[in-house]
């Protein structure tokens, strides 16, 4: 299908972390190279011991011994995510050997879990006939090329015009596939970030893809245009990211409760006062790429949150309307076949125009220098 092809398989486990400033690379001037394969790690919950509508009972297998309750539940198809697991636990809907436990409770092999599922909630998003650029689609999932300016799911201030509204029109109700307010959504992109976004069409596909995100076997490649020239050809930013200590709507590398965050980068093209950079996040923290680049002194051009406080150098004083960040590629194991799938999204026209303008500026500068 257009924009997708199967890649080579590989060894088991999550991608190895590159050392600080290290030379591990999966990007070159032509884009991203083929990714590594990988099998999701961690115990499988196994089949339910018994199931009735609204209730799941299962026995913890040997591989689940010592695993946190919320982490184990996230791998149960009827639960699907760790956040949903925590909501069920906090609501007292989960019992371990007949006793309600906390999220951090460590399970023992053979423990019997009883999960009381809530009644399905009505979908929060109204169907809207919005255009979607589909890069890949089959019975389990689809991948779209999200345009800049489009919110992924309904939220305060953005109840309509979202990806979920468009999906509700294209696919109909996705009852039971994740949260009712964001059915099928496996991961998110910021409103002003463009590029590849995965959507699950079944609960099993959602669980399988969510597990790959948790075990870091899904690989993502972004392209960004940043201010200034990085000092090396490639490297790694390894700095924890969390809520800003004072501005709660921002993220920061100076958070008191930051979580581990790692971004590998490769400089693809030096431009007047700017650089086209390939980014490969090994973790998926909120605003990770934008925060890491700003902390490194090279904020993304157009980033009004993390780059507005830095004066632009020559060639970067452009009135670019959004952060110049694009999710160019994603690699994952297909939920049903296990085949490694690679989906790519071309650069959107606005970023192409930004690069053309910067290249033209460089050409004009070079001509001016030669004639002087």
Number of residues that this document lists for the chain = 372
Active-site hit among 70, 145, 190, 333: 190
Cα(first)–Cα(last) distance of the chain, in Å?
52
Residue corresponding to tokens 């071309």: 346
- The three-point CA angle 20-23-27 to 5° equals 115
Residue corresponding to tokens 């026995």: 59
Dihedral pair phi/psi, residue 119, rounded to 5°:
-65, 140
Residue 161 DSSP one-character state: S
Helix-then-strand count for the chain, H and E: 6, 19
Structure tokens at 92: 């007292």
Q: Alpha helix (H) ranges present in 195-249?
A: 203-214
Query: Which residue, 111, 20, 338, 50, is CA-closest to 208?
Result: 338
Structure tokens at 246: 């004072």
Contacts of 110 (CB under 8 A, 6+ apart): 59, 60
Distance between CA 104 and CA 106 in Å, rounded?
Answer: 6
Query: Which residue, 77, 74, 83, 35, is CA-closest to 56?
Result: 77
Q: Beta 194-200 vs 325-333: how paired, if at all?
A: parallel
Residue corresponding to tokens 């209730």: 55
Distance between CA 361 and CA 192 in Å, rounded?
Answer: 25
The verdict on whether 319 is a catalytic residue reads no
The residues that are catalytic are 190
């Amino acid at each position: 299908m257009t924009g997708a092809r199967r890649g080579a398989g590989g060894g088991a486990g999550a991608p190895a972390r590159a050392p600080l400033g290290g030379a591990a690379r999966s990007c070159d001037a032509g884009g991203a190279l083929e990714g590594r394969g990988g099998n999701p790690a961690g115990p499988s919950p196994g089949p339910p011991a018994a199931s009735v509508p609204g209730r799941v009972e299962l026995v913890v297998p040997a591989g689940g011994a010592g695993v946190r309750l919320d982490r184990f539940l996230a791998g149960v198809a009827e639960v699907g995510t760790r956040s949903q697991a925590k909501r069920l636990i906090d609501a007292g809907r989960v019992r371990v050997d007949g006793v309600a436990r906390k999220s951090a409770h460590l399970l023992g092999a053979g423990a019997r879990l009883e999960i009381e599922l809530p009644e399905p909630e009505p979908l929060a998003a109204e169907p809207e006939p919005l255009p979607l650029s589909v890069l890949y689609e089959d019975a389990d999932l689809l991948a779209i090329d999200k345009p800049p300016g489009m919110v992924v799911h309904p939220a305060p201030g953005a109840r309509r015009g979202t990806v979920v509204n468009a999906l509700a029109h294209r696919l109909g109700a996705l009852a039971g596939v994740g949260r009712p307010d964001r059915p099928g959504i496996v991961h998110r992109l910021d409103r002003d970030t463009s590029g590849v976004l995965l959507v699950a069409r079944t609960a099993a596909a959602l669980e399988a893809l969510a597990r790959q995100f948790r075990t870091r076997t899904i690989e993502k490649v972004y392209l960004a245009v940043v201010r200034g020239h990085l000092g090396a050809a490639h490297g790694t930013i390894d700095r924890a990211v969390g809520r800003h200590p004072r501005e709660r709507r921002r993220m920061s590398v100076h958070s008191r409760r930051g979580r581990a965050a790692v971004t590998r980068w490769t400089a693809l093209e030096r431009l007047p006062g700017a650089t086209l950079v390939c980014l490969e996040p090994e973790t998926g923290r909120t605003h990770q790429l934008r925060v890491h680049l700003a902390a490194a002194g090279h904020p993304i051009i157009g980033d009004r949150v993390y780059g507005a406080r830095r004066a632009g150098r020559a060639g970067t004083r452009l009135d670019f309307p959004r952060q110049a960040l694009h999710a160019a590629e994603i690699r994952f194991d297909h939920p049903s076949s296990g085949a490694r799938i690679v989906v790519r999204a071309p650069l959107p026209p606005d970023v192409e125009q930004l690069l053309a303008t910067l290249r033209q500026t460089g050409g004009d500068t070079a001509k001016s220098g030669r004639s002087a």
